[in-house]
């Protein structure tokens, strides 16, 4: 009786090991490619949000006291056009990653969504110019910026990311 269970168990174990090894191998090959593509997208996004910048220098955020937890990266433009911030906040369905450039006078140059996992159709407002254009030229008071009906949680999260970015700007530029 025991012998009838041993062989299927060994076969199943072998199958699991082979599949696990194949997945690990695939991950080791695709992870660097995905990371490189993500870095390239972020670089393109920095140029897009701050078109007058000649280059970008990363800012060490490990020593900035009071920095909001949502802030992932900060870059200072090499020609003093401003700063570029990358923040990630929780939306309705998951993380929303926002990139935003801020001019030296504290006004937003441009911002947009790098990635999100919000509901199709509803969360796409985070990619639409009708919503994103409300941030251009505003300062930390965000006058004229409001949530969008039907996508309140997603747009509120985006606004929260921008508020965190403006707080971070005050810490690095102050």
Question: What pLDDT digit, counting tens, does each position of 112-137 carry?
Answer: 888 887 777 777 778 888 888 889 98
Assigned domain for 79 exists:
yes
The answer as to whether 5 is a domain residue is no
Q: What is the pLDDT, as a whole number, of residue 91? A: 87
In a domain, 4, yes or no: no
CA-to-CA distance for 164 and 19, rounded, in angstroms?
Answer: 43
pLDDT digits (tens, 9 = 90+) for 66-105: 999 999 999 999 999 999 999 999 988 888 999 999 999 9
Q: Which residues pair with 96 in a beta bridge?
A: 89, 116
Question: How many domains does the chain contain in total?
Answer: 1
**Residue 138 within a domain:** yes
Q: Establish if 30 belongs to a structural domain.
A: no
Domain span at residue 129 reads 47-173
Q: Residue 90 domain-assigned?
A: yes
Number of neighbours of residue 163 by Cβ within 10 angstroms: 17
Q: Answer yes or no: is 95 within a domain.
A: yes
pLDDT over 70 percentage in the chain:
97
Distance CA 153, CA 173 (A): 30
- Looking at every residue in the chain, the average pLDDT score rounds to 87
User: Which structure tokens are listed for 130?
Assistant: 């009708």
């Amino acid at each position: 009786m025991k012998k009838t269970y041993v062989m299927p168990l060994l076969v199943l174990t072998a199958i699991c090991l082979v599949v696990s090894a194949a997945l690990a191998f695939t991950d080791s090959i695709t992870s660097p490619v995905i990371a490189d593509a993500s870095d390239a997208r972020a670089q393109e996004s920095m140029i897009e949000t701050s078109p007058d910048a000649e280059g970008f220098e990363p800012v060490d955020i490990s020593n900035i006291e009071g920095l909001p937890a949502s802030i992932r990266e900060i870059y200072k433009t090499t020609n003093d056009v401003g700063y570029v911030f990358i923040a990630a906040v929780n939306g309705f369905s998951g993380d929303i990653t926002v990139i935003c450039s801020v001019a030296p006078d504290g006004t937003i140059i441009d911002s947009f969504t790098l990635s999100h996992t919000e509901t199709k159709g509803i969360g796409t407002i985070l990619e639409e110019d009708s919503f994103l254009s409300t941030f251009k030229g505003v300062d930390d008071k965000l006058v004229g910026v409001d949530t969008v009906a039907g996508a309140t949680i997603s747009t509120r999260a985006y606004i929260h990311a921008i508020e965190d970015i403006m707080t971070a700007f005050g810490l690095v530029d102050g």
